[in-house]
A and B are shown apart, each in its own frame.
Chain A
Amino acid sequence: MAKHIISLTVNGVREYVEVPSNMTLLTLLRERLGLTGTKDGCSAGECGACTVLMNFEPVNACLTLAVEAEDAVILTVEGLPQDGRLDPVQQAIIDHGATQCGFCTPGVILSARALLDRNPSPSEWEIKDALRGNLCRCTGYTRIIRAIQDAAVGGADD
């Protein structure tokens, strides 16, 4: 298998890594960079547990080859807190009890972060639409949706 040296920025850190052609971004993150917050639920782009932001857009890391991330800016759940403060979406998920088993949670949070970055005050339907690709078997989605609505208004209710 041919190998490639690629450079990319992950959570603000410039990385240079040698990867085989068939390595996915998911494997690179989990097994080479130690970022196991990104989960593997199906390896087929169906469940969204591996959602990360690549150049600010959500992608399934399991369907993205590591070589496609050459020069890209990647954000994973580990990179969300700023200056020791949780991202408002993370905080809202805690406040609303919107995580149960937690396996889908990192992917959900990143999809929500991408949504809020491009649309700071989404409608309920826009939130549901943005989460279509993130399957959750525990919560029934209702609390996740409320949490994202709350994060969108900047937690002004608090």
Chain B
Amino acid sequence: MTEHHEVPSPIGEKVKRVDALDKVTGEAVFADDLKFGSDLLHGRVVRSVHPHALIKGIDSSKALTLPGVKAVVTGEDTTNRIGLYLKDRYTFCRDRVRYVGDPVAGVIATSVEIAETGCDLIDIEYQFLEPVLDPLQGIQERAPLIHPDLGEYPVADFIFPKPGTNISNHFKVRKGDVEAAWSNCEVIIEKSFHVPHIQHAPIEPHVAVAQVDHTGRITLWGSSQSPFAQRNLIAESLGISQRDVRVISPYVGGGFGSKAGVSMEALAVVMAQAVPGHPVKVRLTREEEFFCAFVRQGLVAKIKVGATKDGKLLAMKTEYYWDAGAYTEYGVNITRAAGYSSTGPYEIPNVWCDSYCVYTNHPVGGPMRGFGMPEIHWGIEQVMDMVAEELQMDKVDFRLLNCLRAGSITATGSEMHPTGLTECITQSAQAIQWSTEETASAPHKRRGKGIAIMWKAPAMPPNAGSSAWIRFNEDATISIGIGGQELGQGSHTVATQMAAATLGVPMEWIHISGPIDTEYSPYEWQTVASRLTWSMGNAIVEAAKDARGQILDLVAEHWGEDSQNLDIKEGLVISYRSEQTLPLQNLVVYGLPKADGSGWRGGPIIGHGNFMPTYVTSLDYETGQGERAVVHFTTGCQAVDLEVDTETGQITLLRVASAFDVGKAINPDQVRAQMEGGVVQGASTTLFEHLKLEDGVPVNPSFVDYRIASSVDAPAEIIPIIVEVPQDDGPWGARGIGEHSMVPTAPAIANALADALNLRILDLPLTAEKVFFALQEKGGAT
């Protein structure tokens, strides 16, 4: 007999991470842990020490005579350019170097030490060129050209480089009539902001091991957010088929964007081509990690905002000059995202934006958690505060009056979908008792509260796809194939929950197949853009539905019933009509015998599913207007309560409330974990981080000189708040949250600092030193 009871779904429940046991026992395998035989060779890279120079000659002869050196590669060995949206670089430089750290030659040897020594023996003759060290310099008509061949580079159709300049993309928004609107504004605030380069600083450095067989087929093992994109881009740059490139990537020890696309992996491939049969390992040192992997782009933002005397925003004009560095794997698309998001999450009838991606002789700008949004919100959210101050309006009320709601028209003329932004604002303000004046803990300290809101869409090509498969073992345990990476964000756990809920089996039966291997794993565009829960989640649900449908059809036929009356609960097929039950064990592999002994039906069950957004429209080049610029926006708010020491300038975060509309929290505990981690990473970038480049030379490439938050810097209290207004195209209504949680942190802290000291600092970071001197200049605390 069957008892029909409601089986709890794992969706929305507190479920422990499925990768946690591996990670606390040291069993989790990372790329550096993979074992290769004694024929493993090691590659080291000779890098440019000049920001901008022509290569006049390379002499490798001394290195090649060093015992243990197997080969040396240079730009001569790379014939085609590589790049995600704009193919603008050679894996090894050919005629010129464009930043300090640009790879000029690679030495392959039997040990790291010999390869290092070999690098020291290579003589390179340079002819210096004038460098571009600032995006405002780079856009000048007479600026030195960093990419004279820009017009020849293959480029995606939504990116618009300007040949003959240093501009690799220009994104425009023209909505309403900004110039006419200023005269109707009671208050206009215009300010310039500066955001310096920073480093992602994952604790795991980049590692790649490449092996090329004697027919030219390539296997690449690495720490990668983008195994499929790497396969595609490397195959394209070598002029070979994707079939002949295999990328294998185990757990990633922190990405934050630095391991997306192709950064250093192609170096290992080119080196391995010189020694067919041998795996060649390239591992960045921590020093290289700071400036030879992607950095977060610098930004100069000029922002002008006007509002009526009732506090309604009327016009906004922005100019974003991105310090993109020497090449632009993602920078061109960050520039685009900054353009269509240029207003922040506000409804403003008149909008003008010019977002420029500018080549400079700086390290290569790449994607970093937030993809341009932390950078633009740094300025936007301070200007909004200043407008409210000028109007003598409460800053929460001002935001509630102007922020986006369902049906609002965005900067690109698109209609905003349902969003819980107002709820995020209200709840985070409440969480820190917004309206209550607090007392500082000492006479020389000041207390302040600040708030900042945000929006962010997954920034990607309109048709970035996901796929998944589900297959069964004899005992009905299940392997799920995905191409999305577990970087720590918890995607393996969410994938398991979704598959379990859709199939009707216990979570414990499910195992995520790994490592991600482009030979066996289903296609996933990339693990970026906070898109896995949403996009890969949709694909997993489809795959699970497919497998479930096959099982129900099989059992329905076996029982002579309609599959509509059948269900799977806790791994048991049940009939609501006949109340029969059948365990999944065995039938999912061996099928079922026909009752009359005339044979069998069924076979090994394998479900597959995919998802690709089909509804994102292109935007007009001249105006940036279009019906649906992006798939959707996640919105949120952070409220900060801090104390600042007027004698040292040191900021102490007392409380940070962090509220985001995630649509549906598939795993609320992991959502809160993302919010907590995002606050601390955001606070770290706000208070400490600045990759200092002096004449293009990084001067603080170590954790000693480039400080990131340590345990003692964590805020005393982080209050994560989940808001759920479902998303129409998300599984169970879910949207992403991974990146968003650090977007508003910096301006929320700056706004709280302004509240505490009546002092505005427009350039990141807010180091104690900078706050102290700003306070001195102002004549002390009031």
In angstroms, Cα B704 to Cα A133, docked, is 11
Closest residue of chain A to B20 (Cβ to Cβ) is A94
Bound state CA distance, A157 and B398, in angstroms?
44
B37 within 8 A of A: no
CB-CB under 8 A from A78, the residues of chain B are: 25-26
The verdict on B251 contacting chain A, using a C-beta distance below 8 Å, is: yes
Partner of A143, one of B673, B704, B710: B673
Pairwise interchain contact B25-A39, C-beta atoms closer than 8 A: no
Set B16, B26, B714: member contacting A77, Cβ < 8 A = B26
Using CB atoms, name the residue of chain A closest to B201: A137
A101-B252 contact given A36-B33, A44-B286, A94-B17, CB 8 Å threshold: yes
Smallest CB-CB separation from B256: which chain A residue?
A137
Which of the candidate stretches A53-61, A65-73, A104-112 sits at the interface with the other chain? A104-112
Encode B476-489 as 1/0 by CB contact (under 8 A) with A. 00000000000111
A135 touches B703 (CB 8 A): yes
Is the pair B28, A100 in contact by a Cβ cutoff of 8 Å?
no
Q: Is there a chain A Cβ closer than 8 Å to B553's Cβ?
A: no
CA distance A108 to B255 in the complex (A): 19
Determine the residue in chain B with the shortest Cβ distance to A105.
Answer: B23
A49–B204 Cα distance when bound, in Å, is 9
The residue in chain A whose Cβ has the minimal distance to the Cβ of B369 is: A137
Q: Determine whether A122 belongs to the interface, using a CB cutoff of 8 Å to chain B.
A: no
Complex Cα gap A154–B205 (Å): 35
The interface bits of chain B over 19-47 (1 if a CB of A lies within 8 angstroms of the residue's CB, else 0) are 11111111111101100000000000000
Residues on A with C-beta less than 8 A from B205 are 40-42
CA distance in complex: A104, B253 (Å): 8
Are the C-beta atoms of B24 and A109 separated by less than 8 Å? yes
- CB <8 Å contact, B676 and A102: no
With a CB–CB cut-off of 8 A, which chain B residues contact A137? 200-203, 254, 256, 681, 708
A35 to B487, CA, bound (A): 22
Is residue B677 within 8 Å, beta carbon to beta carbon, of the partner chain? yes
B285 at the interface (CB under 8 A from A): yes
A39-B30, A76-B26, A142-B718 in contact; A103/B204 too (CB < 8 A)?
A: yes
Q: Find out whether the CB atom of B488 lies under 8 angstroms from the CB atom of A138.
A: yes
Q: Which chain B residue shows the least CB distance to A107?
A: B203
* Among A77, A91, A106, A140, contact of B680 (Cβ-Cβ < 8 Å): A140
CB of B702 within 8 Å of the partner chain: yes
B598 at the interface (CB under 8 A from A): no
**Closest residue of chain B to A133, judged by CB?**
B710
Smallest CB separation, B98 vs chain A (Å): 27
Contacts A93-B24, A102-B22, A141-B714 hold; do A43 and B286 have CB atoms under 8 A apart? yes
Q: Which residues of B contact A40 (CB under 8 A)?
A: 32, 205
On whether the beta carbons of B24 and A46 are closer than 8 Å, the reply is no
Contact of A97 with B by CB under 8 A = yes
Chain B residue contacts of A127, Cβ below 8 A: 711
CA of A102 to CA of B28 in the docked complex: distance in angstroms? 8
Q: Is B490 an interface residue (CB 8 A)?
A: yes
Indicate if B712 sits at the interface (CB-CB under 8 A). Answer: yes
- Report if A28 contacts B (CB, 8 A): no
Q: Which residue of the partner chain, among A94, A131, A142, contacts B676 with CB atoms under 8 Å?
A: A142
Q: Number of A interface residues at 8 Å Cβ cutoff, please give it.
A: 53
List B residues 682-739 near A (Cβ within 8 Å): 702-704, 708-712, 714-715, 718
B25 touches A128 (CB 8 A): no
Within 8 Å of chain B (Cβ to Cβ): is A86?
Answer: yes
User: Given A36-B26, A135-B708, A101 and B488 touching (CB < 8 A)?
Assistant: yes
Chain B contact residues, majority secondary structure: loop
- Smallest CB separation, B433 vs chain A (Å): 21
Tell me if A145 and B673 are in contact (CB < 8 A). no
Does any Cβ of B come within 8 Å of A18's Cβ? no
- Chain A residues in 8 Å Cβ range of B25: 37, 77-78, 80-81, 86, 90
Point out the residues of chain B lying under 8 angstroms from A25, CB to CB. none
B residues in contact with A131, CB < 8 Å? 710-711
Residue of B nearest to A111 (CB): B711
Inter-subunit contact B676/A143 (CB<8 Å): yes
The chain B residue sitting closest to A78, CB to CB, is B26
Q: Within the assembled complex, what's the spacing in Å between the Cα atoms of A78 and B711?
A: 24
Please give me the residue from chain A that is nearest to B23 by CB atom.
A102
| A32 interface residue (CB < 8 Å to B) | no
A99 x B24 contact (CB < 8 A): yes
Q: How far, in angstroms, from A131 to B711 measured CA to CA in the complex?
A: 6
CB contacts (< 8 Å) of A24 on chain B: these are none
Chain B, range 484-521, C-beta contacts under 8 Å to A: 487-490
B670 adjacent to chain A (CB < 8 Å)? yes
- Evaluate whether A102 and B19 lie within 8 angstroms (CB atoms) in the complex, with A41-B203, A42-B286, A138-B254 already known: yes
Residues of chain A contacted by B69 (CB below 8 angstroms): none
With a cutoff of 8 Å between Cβ atoms, the chain B residues found around residue A30 in the complex are: 33
B669 proximal to A (CB < 8 A): yes
Residues of B within 8 A of A74 (CB): none
Within 8 A of A (CB), among B647-686: 669-670, 673, 676-681
Question: In the complex, what residue of chain A is closest to B21 when comparing beta carbons?
Answer: A94
Q: Could you say which residues of chain A place their CB within 8 Å of the CB of B254?
A: 100-101, 103, 137-138
Bound complex: CA A42 to CA B681 (Å): 19
Give the chain B neighbours of A3 by CB distance below 8 A.
none
A94 to B22, CA, bound (A): 10
**A90 and B24 in contact, given A40-B32, A97-B17 (Cβ under 8 angstroms):** yes
Q: Chain A nearest CB: distance from B702 CB in Å?
A: 6
Chain B hits for A8, CB < 8 A:
none
A140 to B488, CA, bound (A): 12
Q: Is the CB of B26 within 8 A of A106?
A: yes
Per the bound structure, the CA–CA distance linking A101 and B203 in Å amounts to 9
Per-position 1/0 for A110-141, Cβ under 8 A of B: 00000000000000000111011111111111
Q: Which residues of A contact B203 (CB under 8 A)?
A: 39, 41, 47, 49, 101, 103-104, 135-137
Set of chain B residues within 8 Å of A104, measured between Cβ atoms:
203
Q: Given known contacts A103-B254, A135-B203, is B680 in contact with A141 (CB within 8 Å)? A: yes
Whether a CB of chain B sits under 8 angstroms from the CB of A15 is: no
Which B residue's beta carbon lies closest to that of A136? Answer: B203
Chain A residues with Cβ below 8 Å from B487 are 101
Flag if A141 contacts B702 (CB, 8 Å): no
Contact yes or no, B24 A129, CB < 8 A: no
In the complex the two chains form, is B711's CB within 8 Å of A102's CB? no
Knowing A129-B712, A145-B711, the reply to whether A101 touches B202 (Cβ < 8 A) is yes
- Chain B nearest CB from A85 CB (Å) reads 12
Say whether A140 contacts B285, CB under 8 Å. Answer: no
Residue A19 CB within 8 A of the other chain: no
The answer to whether B711 and A37 have CB atoms under 8 Å apart is: no
A23 to B669: give the CA distance in the assembly, Å. 42
A38 to B27, CA, bound (A): 10
Chain B residues whose C-beta falls within 8 Å of the C-beta of A109 in the assembled complex: 24
CB neighbours (8 Å) of A145 from chain B are: 711, 714
List 14 additional contacts besides A99-B488, A131-B710; criterion CB under 8 Å: A41-B253, A42-B703, A78-B25, A78-B26, A86-B24, A97-B670, A100-B254, A102-B19, A102-B22, A102-B28, A103-B202, A129-B712, A135-B710, A137-B254
15 contacts between A and B (CB under 8 A): A30-B33, A35-B26, A38-B26, A41-B203, A49-B204, A97-B17, A99-B17, A99-B23, A102-B22, A132-B710, A135-B703, A137-B202, A138-B254, A140-B714, A140-B718
7 closest A-B pairs by beta carbon, nearest first, are A37-B26, A101-B488, A103-B253, A140-B680, A102-B23, A100-B488, A46-B703
Residues of B within 8 A of A (CB): 16-17, 19-30, 32-33, 200-205, 251-256, 285-286, 487-490, 669-670, 673, 676-681, 702-704, 708-712, 714-715, 718
